[in-house]
């Protein structure tokens, strides 16, 4: 077992540009669910919109990248309005149903053969990352972090991504300690009470949906910048539930919750994955793997990481239900 490789790769995964994408998607969901109590089960839809609003204009229509980024902002706001206007006046469950459906519609649209000319269908879109490559100040062969090699482009995405995370997290933190954030929290606690005190609940929910959706779209954008390919299968409902897992891990309604939650989540998954990969590997010189094949073999170990991640989450919820940064006192009143 090459522990230095396993550990360095797991640590890198926890801070990589891919992790940045998860942090942003989860941060957006934290604004919706954590602070405002909006049950958004379609955060993957916002991420998909962010990804494709960048890749379609650049790949298909050769737009300059600042316009494509503007497109990410505009389309995520439009999606939030489309989701919010019919549902935010209704009970919380309606938003949940509509968001999960819309996210699936978006994914199926991106996947459809009929629109392959636009979205690239199942193969997705490539070649939209050149602008990031062109302004990359790092040498192409990159650097080696411990035992992990990181190429120049990924390093550049990692650095800019963490700057983005710092900006977004600080922004959310600043908003949530302001009177604006106080109104959001009051909506989460009891929207009738907030209404009786003269707060326009609908407007605040809408703003929350827009802000969180926009941050989620940035996450989707970073995800496909890192993969250098935008593909519909990356935006399935599972992505949304990973984001929920992350904010529950890190602590709901905490600014640093998504950051720490993502790092733990991705570290555990990656660590389990490559440890098992090593433990089940057979080579011509060494035909017997470390783990006996009747337990797990090299064809089915990749499923095990999610079993272990699920187990870890279950243990955390039992031992520390408020998450890593949550406030234990709040748990006592969590029943409504």
Partner 1 sequence: MSADVVSYQPVPGSKKDDAILVVDGVRRAFGGLVAVNVDHVEVPRNKITALIGPNGAGKTTFFNLLTGFDSPDHGTSVFNGQRLDGLAAHKVARLGMVRTFQLTKALSRMSVIENMRLGAANQKGENIFRGLFSPLWRAQEAEITARAEELLARFNLAHMRDELAGGLSGGQRKLLEMARALMVEPEMVMLDEPMAGVNPALKQSLLEHIKGLRNEGRTVLFVEHDMDMVREISDWIIVMAEGVVIAEGTSDDIGSNQAVIDAYLGAHHDSDLGGE
Q: What residues make contact with partner 1 under the rule CB under 8 A?
A: 171, 174-175, 177-183, 185-186, 188-190, 192-201, 207, 211, 329-330, 332-334, 336
Contact 250, 324 (CB under 8 A): yes
Using CA atoms of 57, 82, 169, 64 in order, give the dihedral in degrees to the nearest 10: 10
As a whole number of Å, the end-to-end CA separation of the chain is 50
**Complex with partner 1: residue 179 or 287, whichever CB lies closer:** 179
Least distance in angstroms from the C-beta of 336 to partner 1: 8
Q: Shortest approach of partner 1 to residue 325 CB, angstroms?
A: 15
Q: How far is the CB of 46 from partner 1 (least distance, A)?
A: 18
Closest to partner 1 by CB, 74 vs 105, is: 74
- Minimum separation from the CB atom of position 202 to partner 1 (A): 8
**Alpha helices, DSSP H, located in the chain:** 3-15, 17-29, 43-61, 65-87, 92-111, 116-119, 130-134, 152-176, 179-189, 191-196, 201-227, 237-250, 257-279, 301-319, 328-331
Burial 58-68 (b: 16+ CB within 10 A, else e): bbeeebebeeb
Minimum gap (Å) between residue 227 Cβ and partner 1: 32
Residue number with CB closer to partner 1 (67 or 174): 174
Distance separating alpha carbons of residues 314 and 69, to the nearest angstrom? 38
User: What is the Cα 160 distance to its own chain's centre?
Assistant: 17
Q: How far is the CB of 315 from partner 1 (least distance, A)?
A: 24
Nearer Cβ to partner 1, position 58 or 211? 211
Nearer to partner 1, 232 or 257 (CB): 257
Nearer to partner 1 by C-beta: 141 or 190?
190
Q: What are phi and psi of 327, to 5 degrees?
A: -100, 120
């Amino acid at each position: 077992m090459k522990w230095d490789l396993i550990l360095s790769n797991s640590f890198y995964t926890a801070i990589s540009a891919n992790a940045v994408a998860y942090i942003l998607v989860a941060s957006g969901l934290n604004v919706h669910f954590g602070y405002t109590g909006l049950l958004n089960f379609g955060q993957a839809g916002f991420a998909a919109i962010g990804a494709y609003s960048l890749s379609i204009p650049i790949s298909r229509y050769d737009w300059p990248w600042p316009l494509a980024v503007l497109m990410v902002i505009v389309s995520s706001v439009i999606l939030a309005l489309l989701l919010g206007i019919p549902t935010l006046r209704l009970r919380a469950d309606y938003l949940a149903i509509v968001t999960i459906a819309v996210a699936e519609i978006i994914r199926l649209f991106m996947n459809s053969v009929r629109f392959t000319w636009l979205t690239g269908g199942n193969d997705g879109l490539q070649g939209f990352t050149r602008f990031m490559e062109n302004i990359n100040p790092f040498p192409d062969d990159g650097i080696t972090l411990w035992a992990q090699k990181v190429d120049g482009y990924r390093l550049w995405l990692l650095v800019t991504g963490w700057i983005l995370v710092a900006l977004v997290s600080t922004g959310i933190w600043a908003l949530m300690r302001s009177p604006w954030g106080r109104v959001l929290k009051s909506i989460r606690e009891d929207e009738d009470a907030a209404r009786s005190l003269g707060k326009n609940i609908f407007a605040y929910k809408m703003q929350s949906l827009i802000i969180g959706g926009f941050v989620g779209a940035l996450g989707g954008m970073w995800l496909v910048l890192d993969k250098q390919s935008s593909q519909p299968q990356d935006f399935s409902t599972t992505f949304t539930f990973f984001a929920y897992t992350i904010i529950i891990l890190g602590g709901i309604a905490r600014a640093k919750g998504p950051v720490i939650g993502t790092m733990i989540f991705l570290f555990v998954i990656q660590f389990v994955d490559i440890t098992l990969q090593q433990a089940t590997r057979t080579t011509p010189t060494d035909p017997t793997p470390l783990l006996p094949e009747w337990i797990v073999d090299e064809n089915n170990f990749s499923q095990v990481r999610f079993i272990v991640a699920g187990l870890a989450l279950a243990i955390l919820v039992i031992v520390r239900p408020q998450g890593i940064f949550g406030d234990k006192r709040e748990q006592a009143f969590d029943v409504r």
